[in-house]
């Protein structure tokens, strides 16, 4: 059986159009039509050169993935999409709704309203094997194509208006570097027009990829899963950290920040007795003193009764935050736990095919916004 490519696979579509002598300016209008008419056949797209139709019909499909099921959390603001790929594998994407009017800004009520953030997967499974993360228990299956990455945004956009994208789903994005860069370039171009400022790529700290990220994708947000202030503890929590020594990682981040002139987001999972004591907060504060960062403390989400870790108490999380803020003047937030009941929370994404009886039909949702800030 012929394998079709996703029409959102920009590199492949561009190459095929070029080979056929068709102007690549038609790419944006093809994508726009599919976005507005998700059930369409590619033959239906108007105003293309006649040679384009045969090419599209024989090589491409509007979608190579399908939404297998949609789960709505009881929190009312989290929705998980289970997406089936062309090769039969599954990935998960999570939509989170956040109201930007909550809280104050500069002493005045915030403007805005409900906003949507989409948490996207970049791989089926993951090689990194972080011990607190369910995806790591799957092992690594395969990289997603750039088209499969973009299709997650398309599927989610049919449910709600997506304003922010975070690459914090299944997989290590920088281990699928070429497809990641290609997908983000599609997302920031026509017809999606997402601002790079509203896209965040999260990494365990793949140094060689961080070193080229700014020149390939200027303007986006970088988030680093640090999770410990010293190399030894980091290696216990994240075996892959052995390949990326903390000292070298911090040097790479220094260079990245000098080039980008942007804040770096530091993700720090709170594990009881492992990395959440006052001494750890002071060490983290000293490590980050010279950087412009926002630290995001993440309460650990259990991944089943076999988990070797426990969630830090609210008091410990609060004390940790106070040290970073008070002693080191580092902006520190605590991530709100969303979607735990549908295993859509941080570190819980692992493909367990649901019982068909628990599946819900897709229905229109309200909007969301960013977790990070």
Q: Using alpha carbons, select from 121, 151, 153, 141 the residue that is nearest to residue 4.
A: 151
Q: Report helix angle 50-59 to 10-19, nearest 10.
A: 130
Give the whole-angstrom CA distance, residue 20 versus residue 14.
Answer: 10
- Of the residues 12, 92, 151, 182, only one is catalytic, namely 92
Give the whole-angstrom CA distance, residue 13 versus residue 9.
Answer: 6
Structure tokens at 317: 């999380």
Q: Using alpha carbons, select from 67, 4, 62, 71 the residue that is nearest to residue 30.
A: 62
DSSP helix/strand/coil, 118: strand
- Strand pairing report for 90-99 and 114-119: antiparallel
- Of the residues 119, 172, 346, 369, only one is catalytic, namely 346
Give the whole-angstrom CA distance, residue 90 versus residue 102.
Answer: 35
Q: Is 346 annotated as catalytic?
A: yes
Three-state SS annotation for 174-207: HHHHHHHHHHHHHHHCCCCCCCHHHEEEEECCCH
Q: Is 40 annotated as catalytic?
A: no
Residues known to be catalytic: 92, 346
């Amino acid at each position: 059986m012929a394998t079709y490519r996703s029409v959102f696979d920009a590199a492949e579509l561009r190459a095929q159009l070029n080979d056929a002598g068709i102007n690549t300016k038609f790419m944006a209008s093809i994508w726009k039509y599919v976005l507005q008419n998700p059930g369409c056949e590619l033959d239906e797209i108007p105003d293309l050169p006649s040679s384009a139709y045969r090419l599209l019909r024989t090589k491409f499909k509007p979608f190579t993935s399908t939404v297998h099921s949609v789960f709505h959390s009881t929190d009312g603001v989290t929705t998980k999409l289970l997406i089936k790929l062309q090769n039969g594998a599954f990935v998960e994407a999570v939509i989170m709704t956040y109201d930007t009017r909550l809280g104050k800004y500069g002493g005045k009520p915030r403007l805005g309203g409900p906003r949507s953030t989409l948490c996207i997967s970049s791989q089926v499974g993951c090689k990194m094997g972080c011990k607190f993360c369910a995806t790591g228990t799957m092992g690594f299956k395969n990289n997603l194509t750039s088209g499969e990455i973009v299709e997650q945004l398309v599927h989610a956009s049919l449910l709600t208006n997506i304003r922010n994208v975070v690459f914090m789903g299944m997989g290590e994005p920088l281990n699928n570097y070429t497809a990641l860069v290609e997908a983000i370039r599609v997302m920031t171009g026509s017809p999606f027009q997402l601002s790079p400022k509203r896209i965040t790529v999260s990494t365990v700290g793949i140094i060689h990829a961080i070193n080229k990220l700014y020149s390939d994708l200027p303007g986006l947000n970088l988030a680093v899963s640090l999770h410990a202030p010293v190399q030894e503890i980091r290696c216990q929590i994240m075996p892959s950290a052995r390949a990326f020594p903390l000292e070298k990682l911090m040097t790479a981040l220094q260079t990245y920040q000098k080039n980008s002139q942007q804040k770096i987001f530091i993700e720090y999972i709170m594990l009881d007795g492992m990395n959440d004591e006052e001494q750890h907060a002071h060490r983290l504060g000293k490590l980050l003193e010279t950087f412009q960062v926002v630290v995001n403390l993440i309460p650990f989400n259990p991944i089943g009764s076999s988990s070797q870790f426990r969630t830090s108490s609210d008091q410990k999380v609060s004390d940790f935050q106070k040290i970073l803020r008070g002693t080191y003047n580092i902006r520190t937030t605590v991530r709100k736990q969303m979607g735990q009941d549908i295993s859509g929370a941080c570190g819980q994404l692992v493909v367990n095919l649901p019982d068909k009886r628990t599946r819900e039909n897709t229905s229109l949702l309200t909007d969301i916004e960013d977790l990070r800030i």
